[in-house]
Structure formats: C-alpha cells, structure tokens
Amino acid sequence: MAVEVLEQLYEGKAKKVFKTSDDSLYMVEYKDDATAFNGEKRGTIEGKGVINNKVSAMLFQELEKHGIETHLVEFVDDTHMLVKRVEIVPLEVICRNVIAGSLAKRVGKEEGIVLPKTILEFSYKNDDLGDPMINRYHATALGLATDEEIDDIIAQAFKINDILKEVFAKANLVLVDFKLEFGRTPDGKIILADEISPDTCRLWDKDTHEKLDKDRFRRDLGDVEEAYIEVYNRLKKIGL
C-alpha cells in the first residue's frame, strides 16, 4: 500500500478513522464493538469488524458498478478500507421497505407489513440528542445541507434502495430497512460514505423471516456472529 497511516482523527461506536500521508484519503478501521439504543446497550460481536468491512466493500463495489459513487477507494485488509476524504453530512438517511423497529412503534403497526412505497426519513446525526428524526426543512434551515444537496441525497438513496433490494433478493434476503450516510468531497460532490452492513440494515430471510442483522444483538436473540457470517456467505455465493 502506497499510503502511510497517520494519526487517528475520530473514534466512533463501530469504526475508527485515521489520516493518511495522502491528504485526499482516510483509513477506516472496523471494530467488533456494538452499541444499541443510543449507546445504552454495549457489547462485542466477535468478528463483526471483519464481516462489516467485507460486506460494506462488496456492496460499495456493486453500487459503483451501477453508477453510485462511494467513498471506497480500496479494500486493504480484513478490518481496513481506504476511503476518500469527505465531510460527513450530519444526517442519517433511512430507507424503509417493510415496517420494523422504531417505525412500528411510532405508527402503532406490526413489524413485517410490506409498505406499498418506500419511506425515506432523515435523522439529525447527534449522539447527545439521540439522533432525532427531522425533515428536509429542518435540515436546510439548520444549515445541515442545501436544498440541492438534499435533492441529490434523496435521488441517490432511492436508487441505492432499488439496487440493494435486488442484490439482497438474489441472496434470498428481504431488505427491510437501512441507514445511509453521505459525505461532501473537497470539491463539493455528495457521495455515499460510512458503511452498509448487517449493523446498518435490517435483513430477513425471505422464506422464514429469520432476522440476520443487528436486531439479534439489540433483542438478545443469540447467534449474532453467525447471522452476520450468513449474510456475508450469501453475498459471496451470488458473486459479490
């Protein structure tokens, strides 16, 4: 690898980010640490960092093939990926195809109801506030993103949802919902950043509706590592 890893810039719940000798690139390290419910529940999922790094890299590469620009530059090793330096837009962009999780509670409906159209939500990425749900008017009025950037993010999120739904369907998985984060490149372009993994997606087996994602950790369902590995193996099997 040509670039040298320099000082740590940031440590989040699931990843660390390092500066590198190339000003335009960061190194991301995926950790085994897991948190849920705004940090109230903490634990370790053995081998999670490796799986999430690999799954994210596979999905980013697949999205790139379909014309979505991502921050991925190179898969480096089991727990590291080299990424483009971006400034993260402080929004969590959530796409929902099936009712689950916080939406089920908010609207008083059962998990598992297939939505006739995809719901897109924004949360303000702020741990102290517990990532409150906001809409595009909040986002623009608070200066989190411009109207043009929000339009771009929405268009990309729907396209990403279409691509990922199909990919996971081939792996006999239902993409229930997922969270995306976008970044601004130094020249102002909005590209897909962060990760796409069983930590950030709800994935159910198509036939049995078995949960193969972080809900196994959140809800103490057991076999968390096994579920993450199952997702990886299924994606490998369909050629990702």
Q: Does 214 bind ligand UDP (CB under 6 A)?
A: yes
Q: Say whether residue 195 binds ligand UDP (CB under 6 A).
A: no
Q: Report if residue 178 touches ligand UDP, rule: CB under 6 A.
A: yes
CB of 239 to ligand UDP, least distance (A): 24
Minimum CB separation of residue 131 from ligand UDP in Å reads: 5
Query: Two tokens at 82?
Result: 């080299």
Q: Which of 86, 160, 201, 224 binds ligand UDP (CB under 6 A)?
A: 201
Q: Which residue is nearest to ligand UDP (CB)?
A: 101
The residue within the footprint of ligand UDP, chosen from 131, 168, 174, 182 (CB under 6 A), is 131
Q: Which parts of 140-159 interact with ligand UDP (CB under 6 A)?
A: none
Binding test (CB under 6 A) with ligand UDP, winner from 94, 145, 171, 193:
94
The token pair that represents 129 in the structure block: 């506030």
Q: Pick the closer one to ligand UDP by CB: 25 or 72.
A: 72
Please count the CA atoms within 13 angstroms of the CA of 62 that sit on its side-chain side.
22
Residue 211 contacts ligand UDP per CB under 6 A: no
State the residues that interact with ligand UDP by CB under 6 A. 92, 94, 100-103, 131, 177-179, 200-202, 214
